[in-house]
């Protein structure tokens, strides 16, 4: 699959069931990651996917699962992994790629928003996590709204944000509807000008001890039936540990 894409720079709009999020991508400095992300958008991969993880005060994660009427969530099929580009820091308000534990070049379709300054952890762990864009406008208000929803567990997935009625508990959601999830209704490119990121001042990742050229991407098992794959890609707390203080 070719990752050549017509747009060289972009502002992407996430239309979610909880509101609109706009993200300015760092096309010039993380080109492989941005091309990978745009390819998934072009293929409508993210349309009607759900946000499948919130870790309070840490990240909001999506891009890899859909709800097809019953538990468990369905893992989406992925393209080949993309090379790691750990240029920028995982500070609050950035979007970065999720990946497998101990595998620097394993990112595919899943992304996460940083809810806090996670630099001391994510900038160095697993050769750094690739930040490839910055939330603009009122997007963080929507992301923080999602982070405040009730969090439920299902199978190997922990912290799924759920829309529930007052007094309703996770145990009441044995048969949820799509209205109970945070749905990515669609993603669209709203500005493809190369100048869109020129006014941003992203924080550089200065914590990697030897910022060398990343090695080539690895192959991995992207089978939707693998619970091990689910487990690792969810960035569970014991895979990516939140540091406090």
Q: DSSP assignment of 64-105, as one string?
A: SEE--SSSSPEEPP----B-----B---TTEEEE---TT-TT
240 — pLDDT class (breaks 50, 70, 90): very low
- Asked whether residue 67 is assigned to any structural domain, the reply reads yes
CA distance 89 to 87: 7
- Asked whether residue 212 is assigned to any structural domain, the reply reads no
Does residue 234 surpass a pLDDT of 50? Answer: no
Q: Which residue has the tokens 């239309």?
A: 15
- In this structure, the chain runs to a length of 245
CA distance 2 to 144: 35
| Number of domain units in the chain | 1
Does residue 245 surpass a pLDDT of 60? Answer: no
- Asked whether residue 117 is assigned to any structural domain, the reply reads yes
Contacting residues for 232 by C-beta, under 8 A, at least 6 apart = 100, 101, 239
Does residue 233 surpass a pLDDT of 50? Answer: no
Does residue 216 surpass a pLDDT of 70? Answer: no
- Asked whether residue 121 is assigned to any structural domain, the reply reads yes
> What does the pLDDT read at residue 239?
39
Model confidence over 171-187: pLDDT tens digits? 999 999 999 999 999 99
> What does the pLDDT read at residue 1?
38
Q: What's the average model confidence in pLDDT over 152-168?
A: 95
CA distance 217 to 79: 12
What is the domain range of residue 159? 11-195+219-233
CA distance 15 to 30: 23
> What does the pLDDT read at residue 41?
97
Q: Is the peptide bond between 72 and the residue preceding it cis, with omega within 30 degrees of 0? A: yes
- Asked whether residue 201 is assigned to any structural domain, the reply reads no
Mean pLDDT of the chain: 84
Percentage above 70 pLDDT, the chain: 79
- Asked whether residue 93 is assigned to any structural domain, the reply reads yes
Q: The CATH number of the domain where 128 resides is what?
A: 2.40.100.10
236 — pLDDT class (breaks 50, 70, 90): very low
Model confidence over 1-31: pLDDT tens digits? 344 433 345 899 999 999 999 999 999 999 9
> What does the pLDDT read at residue 177?
97
Ranges 24-33, 62-71, 94-103, 222-231: which has the least confidence: 222-231
DSSP 204: B
- Asked whether residue 241 is assigned to any structural domain, the reply reads no
Extended beta strands in 38-178, E state: 49-50, 53-55, 59-62, 65-66, 74-75, 94-97, 111-114, 131-136, 150-154, 157-162
CA distance 185 to 182: 9
201 — pLDDT class (breaks 50, 70, 90): confident
Q: What's the average model confidence in pLDDT over 68-72?
A: 96
Among the listed residues 108, 109, 110, 106, the one whose alpha carbon sits nearest the alpha carbon of residue 126: 106
Q: What's the average model confidence in pLDDT over 24-43?
A: 95
- Asked whether residue 35 is assigned to any structural domain, the reply reads yes
């Amino acid at each position: 699959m070719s990752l050549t894409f017509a747009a060289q720079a972009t502002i992407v709009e996430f239309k979610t069931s909880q509101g609109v999020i706009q993200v300015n991508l760092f096309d010039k400095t993380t080109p492989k990651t941005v091309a990978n992300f745009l390819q998934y958008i072009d293929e409508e991969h993210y349309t009607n996917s759900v946000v499948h993880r919130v870790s309070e005060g840490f990240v909001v994660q999506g891009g890899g699962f859909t709800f097809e009427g019953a538990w468990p969530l369905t893992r989406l099929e992925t393209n080949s992994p993309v090379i790691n580009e750990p240029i920028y820091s995982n500070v609050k308000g950035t979007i970065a790629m999720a990946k497998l534990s101990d595998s620097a070049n394993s990112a595919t379709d899943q992304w996460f928003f940083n809810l806090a300054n996670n630099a001391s952890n994510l900038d160095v762990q697993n050769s750094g996590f690739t930040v490839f864009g910055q939330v603009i406008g009122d997007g963080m208000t929507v992301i923080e709204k999602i982070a405040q929803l009730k969090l439920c567990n299902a199978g190997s997935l922990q912290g799924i944000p759920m829309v529930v009625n007052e007094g309703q508990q996770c145990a009441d959601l044995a048969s949820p509807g799509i209205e109970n999830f945070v749905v990515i209704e669609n993603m669209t490119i709203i500005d493809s000008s190369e100048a869109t990121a020129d006014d941003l001042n992203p924080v550089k990742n200065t914590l990697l001890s030897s910022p060398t050229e990343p090695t080539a991407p690895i192959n991995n098992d992207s089978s939707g039936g693998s619970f091990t794959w689910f487990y690792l890609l969810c960035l569970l707390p014991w895979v990516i540990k939140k540091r406090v203080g």
